[in-house]
Amino acid sequence: MKKIVILALVALCLLPLAACDRTEERVEAVSETFLNAYYTAEYEKAAACCTPALAAQVAKGARAQELVPELAEKMKEAVRSTSFKIVSIAVDKDAARATVRYDLLVPGLDKPVPKALQLQLEGRTALVDRIE
């Protein structure tokens, strides 16, 4: 009987840790989807990962490319040659926010460019709401 009680207590103690891991996994998945789409110039797909306010700004980038097709192709090539690496994820459940720090790897630069995303957390949803 003692073993069952101890196992139940251990499970209860680990439950919050498991929930935190899932939140961090969701944040990482949304961030990777957003960054992959953004840095391959798939702005509509990137906008789907954003809050409405940021989605409108990201969509403006897509519309701007439609105005000057020649410039758009050059921009897409430059963006596609850029990659990223997620460095850290910090989840603040009390504030319903997460910060994802990543390095932007730009060809021709010796050092990565440190960048960050701010995500808004609502229930099981994480949406990018700021690019730093």
pLDDT in tens, the chain (132 residues): 444 433 333 233 333 434 445 999 999 999 999 999 988 888 899 999 999 999 999 888 766 666 667 766 777 777 777 889 999 999 999 999 999 999 999 888 899 999 999 999 998 899 999 999
Q: What is residue 112's DSSP assignment?
A: -
Q: Long-range CB contacts (< 8 A, 24+ apart) of 85-91?
A: 85/112, 86/28, 86/31, 86/32, 86/35, 87/114, 89/24, 89/27, 89/28, 89/31, 91/20, 91/23, 91/24, 91/27, 91/121
Q: Quick check: 109 and 119 in contact, CB under 8 A? A: no
> What is the C-alpha separation between 100 and 24, in angstroms, rounded?
10
Residue 14 has what pLDDT? 33
Residue 68 has what pLDDT? 67
Residue 106 has what pLDDT? 87
Residue 13 has what pLDDT? 33
Looking at the DSSP bridge assignments, the partners of residue 115 are 102
> What is the C-alpha separation between 55 and 122, in angstroms, rounded?
17
Domain boundaries of the chain, sorted by first residue? 21-131
Q: Quick check: 115 and 98 in contact, CB under 8 A? A: no
Give phi and psi for 10, each to the nearest 5.
-65, -45
Residue 6 has what pLDDT? 31
Class assignment of domain 21-131?
alpha beta
